[in-house]
């Protein structure tokens, strides 16, 4: 009887211990060496070097529990920096893109990597996957000019504020580049010039989903523009206001569809709390300017009907889109599949020739982001 009780107790203790061993594998000297190599190499990704003094002390003392605690803590901090960035809340000010990577549970992934001896793969896969990040990282490692290197580092950090994977199909608008890009199946499928917000009314950095296209749209005039000009025009010169398509009813100021409509002949359906949209414009001469910051915040798109027809492939042909535009009838068409859109702010981009182009810091946002100084002797990962 006593022997049976002792066996039962032993089995119970073994079962209780098993999950603890699985969730907290011991850090061996090899895994700690790998971790310290990645910590030392952090500046290659424009990340700061984490202090390892407590881990070093635990290792010297041969304190296995302290080694495990310190190594796990350092590894998780480094993992989060690679995945989510190292910037403070103040440095991220104005960046309104939801980074779904924040939901990733890193602890079990780290435990598995330590147990399986795959720490290198664990850290490497947490970097942004986009080819633009790879181009910036490569240029950062060899850039001799300190100012340009700092700009590249700041934009590497911004890439960590995006989801690690953007998917195969999406639109990205880069405000300082004054361009919009369509990506399909992981490849760039088209580029369009855009006009963005003035420095006094900057365009917002955000993400949402494009669900459709409105052809021959009405313009729901924002209150700020009503106060600025339209309201007084409607009151003081109603005949001129009518000739320009402005109407007022039910407490709303609107502009009818037509050649003078501020939205032009196309507006994307992309719901967002900022009332920022991609749309056409009657002022197409402004696309000839190199610095195209003229709007109240919305994103005016060059070749807007061609852009709309590209997004509507599989729904309407270009000829059908042109016919709807010609009819003058306000028509909203759903895309075949909703398309994510990211309005971003990158002042360093791949130049397509194996190098990196730095852009004008349109809204003076670069200086918010600190970049650690280069550290010599880092091993390339």
Given 205, 230, 256, which residue is the final one in a domain? 256
Q: Which tens digit of pLDDT belongs to each residue from 294-330?
A: 999 999 999 999 999 999 999 999 999 999 999 999 9
Domain membership flag for residue 99: yes
Is it the case that residue 15 has pLDDT exceeding 70? no
Q: Which tens digit of pLDDT belongs to each residue from 195-219?
A: 999 999 999 999 999 999 999 999 8
Domain membership flag for residue 32: yes
Per-residue confidence (pLDDT) for residue 5, from 0 to 100: 37
In angstroms, the Cα distances linking 271 to 181, 225, 267, 290 are 19, 20, 12, 29
Q: What does the radius of gyration of the chain's CA atoms come to, in whole angstroms?
A: 27
- Judgement on whether residues 157 and 272 belong to the same structural domain of the protein: yes
The yes-or-no answer on residue 279 being catalytic is: yes
Given 101, 128, 155, which residue is the final one in a domain? 128
- Judgement on whether residues 174 and 79 belong to the same structural domain of the protein: no
- Judgement on whether residues 63 and 139 belong to the same structural domain of the protein: no
Going by pLDDT thresholds of 50, 70 and 90, the confidence category of residue 223 is confident
Going by pLDDT thresholds of 50, 70 and 90, the confidence category of residue 227 is confident
Residue 28's domain spans which residues? 2-128
CA dist 192 and 188 (Å) reads: 12
Is it the case that residue 18 has pLDDT exceeding 60? no
CA dist 316 and 310 (Å) reads: 9
What average pLDDT does the segment 147-176 reach? 97
Task: Tell me how many domains the chain contains.
Answer: 3
Given 256, 282, 317, which residue is the final one in a domain? 256
**Most confident region among 237-241, 263-267, 371-375 by mean pLDDT:** 263-267
Summarize the chain as % helix, strand, coil (round to 5). 45, 20, 35
Mean pLDDT of the chain: 90
Per-residue confidence (pLDDT) for residue 245, from 0 to 100: 72
Per-residue confidence (pLDDT) for residue 244, from 0 to 100: 76
Going by pLDDT thresholds of 50, 70 and 90, the confidence category of residue 21 is very low
What average pLDDT does the segment 132-160 reach? 97
Going by pLDDT thresholds of 50, 70 and 90, the confidence category of residue 25 is low
Choose among 125, 127, 128: nearest CA to 109.
125
Per-residue confidence (pLDDT) for residue 26, from 0 to 100: 80
- Higher local confidence (pLDDT), 247 or 52: 52
Going by pLDDT thresholds of 50, 70 and 90, the confidence category of residue 1 is very low
Domain membership flag for residue 304: yes
The answer to whether residues 277 and 288 touch, using CB atoms and an 8 Å cutoff, is: no
The answer to whether residues 269 and 211 touch, using CB atoms and an 8 Å cutoff, is: yes
Per-residue confidence (pLDDT) for residue 226, from 0 to 100: 72
Q: Which tens digit of pLDDT belongs to each residue from 232-260?
A: 777 777 777 777 777 877 778 888 998 78
The yes-or-no answer on residue 378 being catalytic is: no
Domain membership flag for residue 120: yes
Going by pLDDT thresholds of 50, 70 and 90, the confidence category of residue 375 is low
Q: What are the start-end ranges of the H helices in the chain?
A: 2-23, 29-40, 53-61, 64-84, 106-116, 119-124, 131-142, 146-160, 223-225, 231-236, 238-243, 304-311, 318-327
- Higher local confidence (pLDDT), 230 or 377: 230
One of 29, 82, 130, 279 is an active-site residue; which one?
A: 279
CA dist 64 and 46 (Å) reads: 32
- Judgement on whether residues 106 and 242 belong to the same structural domain of the protein: no
Domain membership flag for residue 239: yes
What average pLDDT does the segment 99-123 reach? 97
Per-residue confidence (pLDDT) for residue 229, from 0 to 100: 72
């Amino acid at each position: 009887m006593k022997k049976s009780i002792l066996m039962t107790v032993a089995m119970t203790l073994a079962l209780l211990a098993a999950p603890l061993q699985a969730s907290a594998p011991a850090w061996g000297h090899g895994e700690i060496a790998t971790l310290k190599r990645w910590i030392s190499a952090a500046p290659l990704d424009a990340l700061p070097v984490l202090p390892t003094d407590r881990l070093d002390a635990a290792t010297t003392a041969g304190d296995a529990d302290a080694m495990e605690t310190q190594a796990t803590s350092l590894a998780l901090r480094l993992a989060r920096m690679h995945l989510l960035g190292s910037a403070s809340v103040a440095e991220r000010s104005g960046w309104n893109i939801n980074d779904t990577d924040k939901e990733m549970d890193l602890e079990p992934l780290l435990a598995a990597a330590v147990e399986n001896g795959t720490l290198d793969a664990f850290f490497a896969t947490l970097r942004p996957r986009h080819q633009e990040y790879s181009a910036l990282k490569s240029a950062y490692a060899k850039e001799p000019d300190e100012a340009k290197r700092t700009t590249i580092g700041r934009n590497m950090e911004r890439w960590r504020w995006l989801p690690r994977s953007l998917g195969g199909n999406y639109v990205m608008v880069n405000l300082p580049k004054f361009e919009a890009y369509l990506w399909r199946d992981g490849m760039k499928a088209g580029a369009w010039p855009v006009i963005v917000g003035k420095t006094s009314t900057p365009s917002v950095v955000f993400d949402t989903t494009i669900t459709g296209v409105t052809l021959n749209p009405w313009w729901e005039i924002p209150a700020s523009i009503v106060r600025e000009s339209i309201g007084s025009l409607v009151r003081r010169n109603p005949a001129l206001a009518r000739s320009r398509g402005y109407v007022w009813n039910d407490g709303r100021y609107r502009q009818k569809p037509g050649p003078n409509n501020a939205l032009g002949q196309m507006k994307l359906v992309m719901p967002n709390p900022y009332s920022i949209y991609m749309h056409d414009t009657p002022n197409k001469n402004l696309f000839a300017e190199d610095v195209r910051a003229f709007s109240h915040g919305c994103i005016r798109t060059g070749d807007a009907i061609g852009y709309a027809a590209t997004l509507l492939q599989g729904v309407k042909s270009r000829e059908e889109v042109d016919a709807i535009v010609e009819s003058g009838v306000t028509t909203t068409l759903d895309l075949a599949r909703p398309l994510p859109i990211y309005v971003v702010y990158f002042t360093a981009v791949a130049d397509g020739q194996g190098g990196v182009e730095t852009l004008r810091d349109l809204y003076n946002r670069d200086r918010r982001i600190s970049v650690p100084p280069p550290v010599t002797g880092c091993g390339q990962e």
